[in-house]
Amino acid sequence: MLKISIDDEALQRNLRQLGDKDAKQAVVWALNDTADDVLKHVQERMDQVFDRPTRFTKNAFMVWRAKPSDLEASVLERPSVGKRHYLKTQELGGRRGQTGLEALLSSRLSYAGIIQSVMPAGGARLDAYGNWSNAERNQALSAIQSQRDASTNTTADARKRKRKRAGFFVPREGSGLSPGIWKRAADGTISKILHFSAVAPAYTERLGFQDGAEEVYRAQLPGHLARTFERMARKAAARA
């Protein structure tokens, strides 16, 4: 869905008339350099739109390179990117599907309400990207019996041994505490670390990848073509 093919019909028609190996190679260089520019553009756009995007986010796209037999380069999703990757929603707008954590809590947690989405609360420990830290997340999921691998959940005996340490809990139905995961410190004070919501987050169009990529392609390709044809001419002259 988020794909920009770098292709110029007029250029293709001219090259079909040439059949010149060197000329085609020069075009391949120019197309691939332009695709690299497009990829750099969308990654820089992520830095502007998102707050501290993770490597996973910035590496969601890759360059599919042109070759002499196929004069087209593309910037497209990596094969590892799932169909529900949140960048699609950021590009096109709409409601975001559940993350793996949200789906896990919705299916595993013994909770009377609906968990459609979650968000770190003020008491959460965050990583360098502003996301809930893996260490605290695993501790919390174990404590509330929601780990994917049930053997890693905290047992009753383990809770007794660690009763002087911080613990995690989900308030019971009717509690005065808001829905989510709470942390109880060793001194008894509590703080909320994760909000539960029954509503799926909805986004407006935000990333602007497709439009921006088209602009970069049109701006950069002519200069790259001039440079690569000059480079190929020098190589041909050296061979002669």
pLDDT for the residue 94? 63
Q: For the chain (length 240 residues), average pLDDT per consecutive 10?
A: 47 53 87 92 81 77 88 82 59 69 85 87 86 89 73 53 69 88 90 90 65 83 87 77
Question: Dihedral of the CA atoms 47, 49, 54, 56 (nearest 10)?
Answer: -100
The pLDDT, as a whole number, for residue 20 is: 73
Q: CA 45, 46, 48, 51: dihedral to nearest 10 degrees?
A: 180
pLDDT value of residue 191: 94
In this predicted structure, what is the pLDDT of residue 240? 65
pLDDT of residue 166: 64
From 124, 122, 140, select the one nearest 132 (Cα to Cα): 124
Q: What is the DSSP string of 74-120?
A: EEEE-TTS-TT-HHHHHHH-EEPPPPHHHHHHHHHS--SS--SEEEE
Question: What is the pTM for the complete model shown?
Answer: 0.55
> Distance (Å, rounded) from C-alpha 9 to C-alpha 132?
48
Res 2: pLDDT = 37
Q: What average pLDDT does the chain have?
A: 77
* SS3 letters across 129-150: CCCECHHHHHHHHHHCCCCCCH
